[in-house]
């Protein structure tokens, strides 16, 4: 899975704000899964979020983040809400 490309857009930006590949990560995916699974039971469908490539910036309530994996043709959308409003 190190050859996939992940991207992130905010509010429908034409170009991704962030773009990266697991091949650029400090720790390998198996190392991360091993470390997390020693302190937390992982279930099918769980996501492990580890950090961010360059391009990080603020988001605010009302913004919408869309992220995905190019080669798998998948994406997800997450609305940003005010803290405590859920």
The pLDDT tens digits for 2-43 are: 789 999 999 999 999 999 998 888 999 999 999 999 999 999
pTM: 0.75
Q: Residues of the chain with pLDDT > 90: what percent?
A: 71
Cα–Cα distance measured from residue 66 to residue 44, given in angstroms and rounded to the nearest whole number: 22
Tell me if 47 sits within 8 A of 32, measured CB to CB.
no
pLDDT attached to residue 2: 76
HSE-up of residue 18 (Cα within 13 Å, Cβ side): 18
pLDDT attached to residue 70: 93
What lies within 8 Å, CB to CB, of 50 at 6+ separation is 25, 27, 32
């Amino acid at each position: 899975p190190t050859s996939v490309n992940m991207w992130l857009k905010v509010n429908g930006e034409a170009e991704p704000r962030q773009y990266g590949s697991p091949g650029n990560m400090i720790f390998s995916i198996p190392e991360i899964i091993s470390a997390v699974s020693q302190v937390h039971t992982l279930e099918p469908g769980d996501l492990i979020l580890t950090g961010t490539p360059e391009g990080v910036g603020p988001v605010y309530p009302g913004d919408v983040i869309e992220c995905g994996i190019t080669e798998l043709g998948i994406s997800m959308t997450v609305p940003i809400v005010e803290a405590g409003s859920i």
